[in-house]
Amino acid sequence: MKLLSAFSFLAFTLAACSNPTANAQDAAPATDVAAPANQLVVAELFTSQGCSSCPPAEKFFSELAEQDNVMTIEWHVDYWDQLVHGGSRWKDPYSKKDFTDRQRSYNRSLRGQSGVYTPQAVVNGHFEGVGSRRGVVTDLIESAPAITVPVSIENNNVTVGASSKAADILFVRLLKEQATNVKGGENKGAKLSGRNIALDAKVIGKTGSGEVTVSLPALKDGETCAILVQPQKGDVGPVLGAAKCA
């Protein structure tokens, strides 16, 4: 696990070691995760190709993506892009400041601070933990509170049920899978892969007292998407509803 704060990440020492307990759990064999029956769980991973602790988490989340009742999203943050390790650095091609802002917002609401670390998992917008700790993430998924707003996708339309809380309908464009040969930074020489990598995110509607239907933006070859219903006034709130695109 690599810790960074808003004030100190530029001075962060890349020689710092990962948590040895996390490393031991990284090596644990894959197991099926028992999410609540008939209940979609949203598992978000904040990660970077410049972070040596992140590839095990990305591998684990790629395994989770195989499960019908778990929707994974990889958000690649940008604060690793300028950090030098062994005389070189690596600009993650999928990183965006907006994704870092989302992570900071989650940390303010879930941890009471804007300090960030990678790899970080957030489940249903309620719980967070170290993304490479399989046991921790599995427990978070198994205990995730239910999402209560129904969301369905049909004929390129998204239909969101009535919500007692005002919330945004967020469209997240995802790259289904990728493989990158990393040429600098902590993972220099490694070939990293991942699934459901966030490319961009935008609000396409708002919830209401009744059912709301909005058009689904067009997707390109190799892309899929996720729909999240979340309060986003102030810091990002819990996931109220979600759906996977085909």
Looking at residue 2, its pLDDT comes to 62
Alpha-carbon torsion (121, 103, 208, 216), positive or negative: negative
* Higher local confidence (pLDDT), 41 or 32: 41
Rounded to the nearest 5 degrees, what angle is found at the Cα of 234, between the Cα atoms of 58 and 242? 50
DSSP, residue by residue, 195-244: EEEEEEEEEEEE--SS-EEEEPPP--TTEEEEEEEE--SSS-----EEEE
Number of domains observed in the structure of the chain = 1
Residue 30 lies in a domain: no
Residue 26 lies in a domain: no
Looking at residue 114, its pLDDT comes to 92
Residue 23 lies in a domain: no
For residues 78-111, one letter each, b for 16 or more C-beta atoms within 10 angstroms of the residue's C-beta and e for the rest, the string is bbbbebebeeebbebebbbeebbebbbbbbebbe
* pLDDT tens by residue, 135-181: 999 999 999 999 999 999 999 999 999 999 999 999 999 999 999 99
Residue 21 lies in a domain: no
Residue 133 lies in a domain: yes
Q: Which domain holds residue 66?
A: 2-14+37-244
DSSP, residue by residue, 57-110: HHHHHHHHTTSTTEEEEEEE-STTTT--BTTB----TT--HHHHHHHHHHHHHH
- Identify the CATH number of the domain in which residue 194 sits: 3.40.30.10
Residues 48-67 have a mean pLDDT of: 98
